[in-house]
Structures are given as C-alpha cells and as structure tokens.
Chain A
C-alpha cells in the first residue's frame, strides 16, 4: 500500500510542476486554436459542399481532427526527453535505487504531466471548439467507452515515448528518433487524416498495425454514433491486446538496455 502512495506522490508532484507556468500554457492553448482554425478551413474547402466523404460528415471529421489535436497535446508529456536526459546525465540512478518499479515511476511522472495538460489545455480547447466552431459530440453510450479507450491509448503512447527515451542508453541523438516516431505515429494512427480517407490497400495494412489504437480508435469511439455495443468491445480488445504487447516489449527492452548503463561516481 505504501508503494502505491509513493506513485501517487510522484503523480501529484509532476502535476504541480506542470501547472507552475500558466503563461506558457496560454501560448500552447493558442497554438492549438491555430491548429483547429487550419483544420476547420482546410476541411471546409475539402468538403466544399459535399455532405459526406467516406461516410463522415464535415462535422464528424472536424470534431475528430480537433479532438485528435487536443489528445496529441494531452499525450505530449516529453517523457522521452526527460528520460533520456536522466540517462545521459546519470541521475537515473536515484530513481533506480528507489523501492519502486522504474517503468511505473516514469509512468507516474508522465501521468501527472498529462493531467496538467488536460486541465490547462485539452479541456479549454474542447470548450472553445464547441463555443466558437459549434462542434458537437454525439451524446450516448460512447461517452462511457471513450475514457477507457483514451486511457488505453495513453498507455500505448507512453510506452512508445518510454522506448524512445530508453534509446539514450545507446545514442544521444534523441531529436531525430523522437521526431521520426512523432510524425510516423501521427500519420499512421489517423491523427492527421481520418483513416477512412486513406486508399483502401493502405487502410488494410494500417488495420494490422498498432498505431490506430493510439488515435483512431478512441477518436472513432468519441465521434461515431453508428457503433454497436459489440463494436465498442471489439475496439477496446484491440487496444488491450496492443497495450499488453507494448508493455511486455518495453520491459524486455529496459532489462536489456539497463545492462549497458555505466554511471561514474556522483
């Protein structure tokens, strides 16, 4: 029980740290509004009068993409950067000697940061989107499944960040790896364009890859009103399966990578 309290304190501390500079957050919020504006006008002109494209109405696509942008910010906890700098400067040892699991500690830190993002950026942007652009969500059973799906997506996103951060055991060139991961995930997960817009052959391939479990699935759950209960469970199952795979892989990676760690004195 004490151990869980330890994790809780890490979450709390990193949440507090993330909301210290609300001025900075203000600019991130504006940045997100910039994104929402681009999305609105770009897709407005893509639809140019068409009612639906690939089975999605303009409103659905717009909500889907702005939600994607806001979730992208929510998930952006710079875990990879923080982790790699602790590995490079050696301060990782002070985390390793704690009687807590290293991955869970890192997760707790990231979670606190994500909660800060959620309170300061994601929720206000969603409110502004509803007020300024009159976007609306389908209200129904999907709102029950969405938080679960979002939580699983967050675990997956965390695992990727964690794996990228761990590469610091082998190379200090984080920028390239981090940005490559970021753009590949945002494209293939359907965060930039809904997967329904991709050519069919490509869509079939993307169905088999884990990326859609990070953005496409939770966003579909939030925006689609045509899904049946069984569909929700099926989508969640896909996410759970990938989460297990990712957790196992990252733990194996950590056990392997930690062997090369050498920290000189203190």
Chain B
C-alpha cells in the first residue's frame, strides 16, 4: 500500500511538471486536439452515413452502435493518455537513449510511461462521454449505482486489454530493428473493436474472443448494458482477461528489457 502511495505521488509530481511544460505550446495542444476530435468524429459520421441506407446492422440500431462506439472511445482513452510513450520506444531503443531508464530506483515500465501524459487523449474521453450520454438518453438506459459500478469495472478491463496488446507490440522493438509496422498493425486491430462481433463469421468470432480478445474492448461489455438477456456469458471473464493479458504484456516487456543490451555508446 505504501509503495502504491509512493508511486501515485511520484506520478502526480512528474505529470504536473510535464503538463506545465506542454502548456507552453498552446497552439500545438489546440491543433492536436482538433486532429484527435476529427479522427473519431469521422468514425461517428461513418455510422451515421451508413444508417441513412440501412435500418440496422446485424440487428443493432444506430443508437446501440453509438453506445458501443462510446464504450470503445472510453476504453482506448487510458492507452492514449497514460501509455502514449510506447510509440517512442522503438526510437529510444534504437538510438540507445533507452538505457537511462535502467538507472532509476523505480519500476521501469512505470517510469517509462510516466514520461508522457497525453493531454489531447482527454478529447477522446470527452467525446466518449458525450456520445455515451446521448446514446443512453436515446435508448432510455437506467443507470443505477450497481450498473454504473459494473460499467466502470468493464471499462477498466477493456482498457487493460487494449493497453496490453499495445505494450506487447511495442516490446517487439527490443528484438527487431523497426517495430513501427508491428505497432501500427496492433493499433489497426482496434478497427475491429467497435463493431458487433456477431457480424463476423465463426472463425473470426473465435479469434476475436479467445486469441486477440478485441471483443472485450467494446462489444461484449456493451451488450451487457444494451441487451443483458442476450449477453454472452464470456463477458464475466472480462476482468480476468484484462488482468491476465496485462500480466502477459508485463512479462514480455520485462524479458525485452532484460534482453536489451544498449547500443554501446
């Protein structure tokens, strides 16, 4: 518990400095936030355009899909905000500057990711909340206290799944020269997440449930709130999947860190 408090305090100190430094570049913050908002707004507009042609997608209405999309936006937020530094890992590993993370009496993964707090990622969060509220109102969803608690648990589990996938992909840079395409691929896999898993046929459904568990990023948990009666029982494994996958990602990262031998300069 003490360690946890210690780390929380350090994290706050680091981020306070980081945010102060970033706020010097106000134009950059505004421009990147617009970019962020646009890239997800396009996802929403795409749904809207499609639904001018079709009444439902595999039985799901536009508002239900928007709810899934909101869940997806919220569940990828922690990855964007807290883990954005993993995109630079390949560069730091290649030019040797990664070596400095070995010299602090802190957990290396913690120290590494704490270096960046991606403020523009909060745009994703805000957009997610707006879409969630809109969809909830349209669908007349009742948010009781236990429901809300369950929502938060499911959301955190989903976030862990997304974070773990990306950490594993980023760790590839410890072994291969340019891991950018691996990261880009893992990031692209997200594109499966906001759609109902039921639109895929048996083979892909199995893959996205058990092998690359993207179904847990949005569809299975969203189903639990939209149509609890139809919800697949696998959704209850969601927290377990999140934690297990993160443990695996941490293992891969640790192996990579131990395997890395610097550049010799």
**A178: which B residues are within 8 A, CB to CB?**
35
Q: In chain A, residues 162-216, which have Cβ atoms closer than 8 Å to a Cβ of chain B?
A: 171-173, 175-180, 182-184, 186-187, 192-193, 197-199
Interface string of B32-63 (1 = CB under 8 A from A): 11111011011001100110111001100000
Pick from B28, B39, B181: contact of A24, CB under 8 Å = B181
Q: Quick check: A183 and B39 within 8 Å, CB to CB? A: yes
**B185: which A residues are within 8 A, CB to CB?**
27-28, 30-31, 34
Q: How many angstroms from the CA of A38 to the CA of B194 in the assembled complex?
A: 11
B37 to chain A minimum Cβ distance, whole angstroms, is 9
User: A225: CB under 8 A from chain B?
Assistant: no
User: B174: CB under 8 A from chain A?
Assistant: no
Q: In chain A, residues 109-158, which have Cβ atoms closer than 8 Å to a Cβ of chain B?
A: none
The interface on chain B, measured as residues whose beta carbon lies within 8 A of the other chain's beta carbons, has a size of 41
Q: Quick check: B33 and A176 within 8 Å, CB to CB? A: yes
Q: Quick check: A44 and B199 within 8 Å, CB to CB? A: yes
Pick from B36, B50, B180, B195: contact of A38, CB under 8 Å = B195
Q: How many angstroms from the CA of A34 to the CA of B181 in the assembled complex?
A: 13
Q: Quick check: A27 and B38 within 8 Å, CB to CB? A: no
User: B230: CB under 8 A from chain A?
Assistant: no
**B31: which A residues are within 8 A, CB to CB?**
171, 173, 176-177, 180
**A183: which B residues are within 8 A, CB to CB?**
38-39, 41-42
User: A8: CB under 8 A from chain B?
Assistant: no
Q: In chain B, residues 178-218, which have Cβ atoms closer than 8 Å to a Cβ of chain A?
A: 178, 180-182, 184-185, 188-189, 191-192, 195, 199-201, 204
Q: Quick check: A21 and B199 within 8 Å, CB to CB? A: no
Q: How many angstroms from the CA of A38 to the CA of B45 in the assembled complex?
A: 18
Residue of A nearest to B172 (CB): A27
Q: Quick check: A25 and B181 within 8 Å, CB to CB? A: yes
Mark B residues whose CB is within 8 Å of A.
25, 27-28, 30-36, 38-39, 41-42, 45-46, 49-50, 52-54, 57-58, 120, 176-178, 180-182, 184-185, 188-189, 191-192, 195, 199-201, 204
Report 21 cross-chain contacts, Cβ distance below 8 Å, ordered by A residue: A21-B177, A21-B178, A24-B180, A31-B184, A34-B188, A34-B189, A35-B191, A42-B57, A42-B195, A46-B53, A171-B27, A173-B31, A176-B31, A176-B36, A180-B31, A186-B42, A187-B42, A193-B49, A193-B50, A197-B52, A199-B49
